[in-house]
Amino acid sequence: MVELAKLFIRDGFSVTIVIIDKSEKTGSELFSRISSANPSIYFHILPPVPIPSDAPMIDIMLTAPRLQNPNLLSYLVTLSSLRAIILDFFCTDVLDVANELRIPSYIFYTSSAYGLSIGLYFPFFHSTTTASLKDMEEIPLQFPGASSIVALDMPEPMLDRD
């Protein structure tokens, strides 16, 4: 996100990067260095929300943004020149906040075209079968624009249908 922000500040925009903080480790020293080198990049750390400490990382990644929506909305309404929201791929629940504020929102996806193909097609694929990928084992899966991949080679969070 920082590199994308640098592109925007070249065109005269200022950028605020909102951080969803799940722990006490906020990286504030790094944020200070980036802001010092790029005065038009700001960081805002949202307060922690209660997440079980034993929750799997994938659950945290998918749940924390949604739980932060009220805090994010409260912060964004204080900004006088908010023009758009650019989201990380794992923060799509924030689209609700952008819709409520009636501002454009964009998803910044920093992965390969292969990963994008799987991500976009997977909901359709999921609707065509009742089986979990872990039970499909060596069956090759086809995704548009991508070579086949064996079911067990899919990312672990996708293997269990539930």
- Per residue in 73-91, pLDDT (tens digit) is 999 999 988 999 999 888 8
CATH code 3.40.50.2000 region(s) in the chain: 2-108
- Residue 8: per-residue pLDDT: 92
Mean pLDDT, residues 91-105 taken together: 93
**Catalytic positions, written as ranges:** 88
For residues 130 and 58, the model is more confident at 130
- Per residue in 1-10, pLDDT (tens digit) is 899 999 999 9
Answer whether residue 156 shows pLDDT above 90. Answer: no
CA distances in angstroms from 4 to 49, 106, 115, 131, 156, listed in the order given: 27, 12, 20, 39, 29
Indicate the fold that domain 2-108 takes in CATH: Rossmann fold (3.40.50)
pTM above 0.75, yes or no: no
- Residue 53: per-residue pLDDT: 80
- Residue 24: per-residue pLDDT: 55
